């Protein structure tokens, strides 16, 4: 059965590489691999880091996966990825390079994978399968806004606030004001163990916390959210447990 344009599953990929022949070949492989898995994909290709950065940060239609060449005409793709993370871009990304020499440096940007050229169908399929597996493990949050009913990926939410009975989601794509409901109701809809009540009027995504100090949590996008005195010990302990779980050798 053919899917209509309305119910097609679209997987958005941005590829940044200054080799046009590689981009053409890699783009075709992406389309084939994702089509085999039931997704439509027309990769957005960028040869200039600046144009790539502008497109990703625009956030009008957030990407699911970023593929970034480490060496971009003398510019450093790892630094580009770090800049995106600092801006709060939390989607999956993978590096591409002719050498594994930058793999350790790229770790700070939390890549899904580090691909070495030549990029074969098998290598690319492995990255796609890992990304799709992560996606399947996350149930979308359904919220009502003035624009209508929206689906939001919990991993893309940095924190949530309530003020004057208005709930606001601060996401990678910007602010989203919700109509109706309470913070308690929303909390029950979020993945268990992922979001913490850090303050009477705040919920914070544990995965987005960069550091915790007395009564403040700094997030990966540079935002700072308050921690209530009665919540401080809980937030601090949860953050330590999360870091240790992600880094067993910590």
Domain boundary among 82, 105, 136: 136
127 and 154 co-located in one domain: no
> Per the structure block, which two tokens stand in for 211?
């550091």
CATH number at residue 87: 3.40.50.2300
81 and 120 co-located in one domain: yes
Q: Residue 60: pLDDT above 60?
A: no
**Mean confidence (pLDDT) of the chain:** 84
pLDDT in the model for residue 138? 65
What digits encode the pLDDT tens for the residues 203-226?
Answer: 999 888 989 998 999 998 788 999
Q: Residue 113: pLDDT above 50?
A: yes
The total number of structural domains that make up the chain: 2
Per this entry, what is the length of the chain? Answer: 250
What digits encode the pLDDT tens for the residues 115-154?
Answer: 888 999 999 999 999 888 877 666 778 888 887 788 788 8
Q: Residue 2: pLDDT above 50?
A: no
What are the DSSP calls for the chain, one per residue?
-PPPTTTPPB--EEEE-S-HHHHHHHHHHHHHHHHHTT-B---EEESSHHHHHHHHHH-SS--SEEEEESEETTEEHHHHHHHHHHTT--SEEEEEES-GGGHHHHGGG--SEEEESS--HHHHHHHHHHHHHHHHT-PPEEEEETTEEEEE-GGGEEEEEEETTEEEEEETTEEEEE-S--HHHHHHHSPTTTEEEEETTEEEEGGGEEEEETTEEEETTS-EEE--GGGHHHHHHHHHHHHHHH-TT-
Q: Residue 67: pLDDT above 60?
A: yes
What is the mean predicted confidence (pLDDT) over 6-18?
80
Q: Residue 8 falls within a domain, yes or no? A: no
Q: Residue 99 falls within a domain, yes or no? A: yes
What is the mean predicted confidence (pLDDT) over 44-67?
84
Q: Which domain holds residue 69?
A: 13-136
107 and 149 co-located in one domain: no
CA dist 78 and 75 (Å) reads 9
Nearest to 54, CA basis, from 18, 105, 17, 14: 14
CB count within 10 Å of CB 121 equals: 13
Q: Residue 224 falls within a domain, yes or no? A: yes
CB count within 10 Å of CB 240 equals: 12
Q: Residue 175: pLDDT above 90?
A: no
What is the mean predicted confidence (pLDDT) over 179-203?
86
CATH number at residue 159: 2.40.50.1020
Q: Name the percent of the chain lying above pLDDT 90.
A: 36
Q: Residue 3 falls within a domain, yes or no? A: no
Domain boundary among 136, 164, 194: 136
Domain boundary among 136, 162, 195: 136
pLDDT in the model for residue 151? 77
């Amino acid at each position: 059965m053919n899917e209509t344009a309305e119910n097609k599953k679209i997987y958005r990929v941005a590829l940044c590489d200054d080799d046009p022949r590689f981009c053409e070949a890699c783009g075709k492989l992406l389309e084939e691999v994702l089509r085999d898995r039931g997704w439509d994909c027309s990769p957005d290709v960028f040869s200039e880091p600046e144009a790539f950065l502008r497109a990703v940060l625009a956030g009008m239609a957030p990407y699911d996966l970023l593929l970034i060449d480490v060496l971009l005409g003398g510019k450093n793709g790892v630094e580009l990825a770090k800049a995106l993370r600092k801006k709060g871009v939390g989607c999956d990304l993978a590096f591409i390079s002719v050498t594994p020499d930058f793999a350790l440096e790229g770790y700070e940007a939390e890549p899904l994978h580090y691909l070495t050229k030549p990029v074969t169908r098998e290598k690319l399929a492995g990255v796609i399968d890992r990304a799709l597996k992560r996606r399947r493990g996350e149930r979308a949050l359904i919220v009502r806004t003035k624009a209508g009913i929206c689906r939001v990926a919990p991993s893309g939410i940095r924190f949530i606030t309530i003020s004057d009975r208005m709930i606001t989601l601060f996401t990678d794509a910007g602010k989203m004001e919700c109509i109706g409901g309470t913070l308690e109701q929303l909390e029950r809809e979020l993945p268990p163990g992922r979001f913490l009540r850090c303050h009477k009027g705040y919920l914070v995504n544990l995965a987005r916390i960069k550091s915790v100090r007395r009564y403040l949590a700094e997030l990966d996008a540079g935002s700072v959210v308050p921690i209530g005195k009665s919540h401080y010990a809980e937030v601090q302990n949860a953050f330590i447990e999360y870091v240790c779980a992600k880094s067993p050798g910590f």
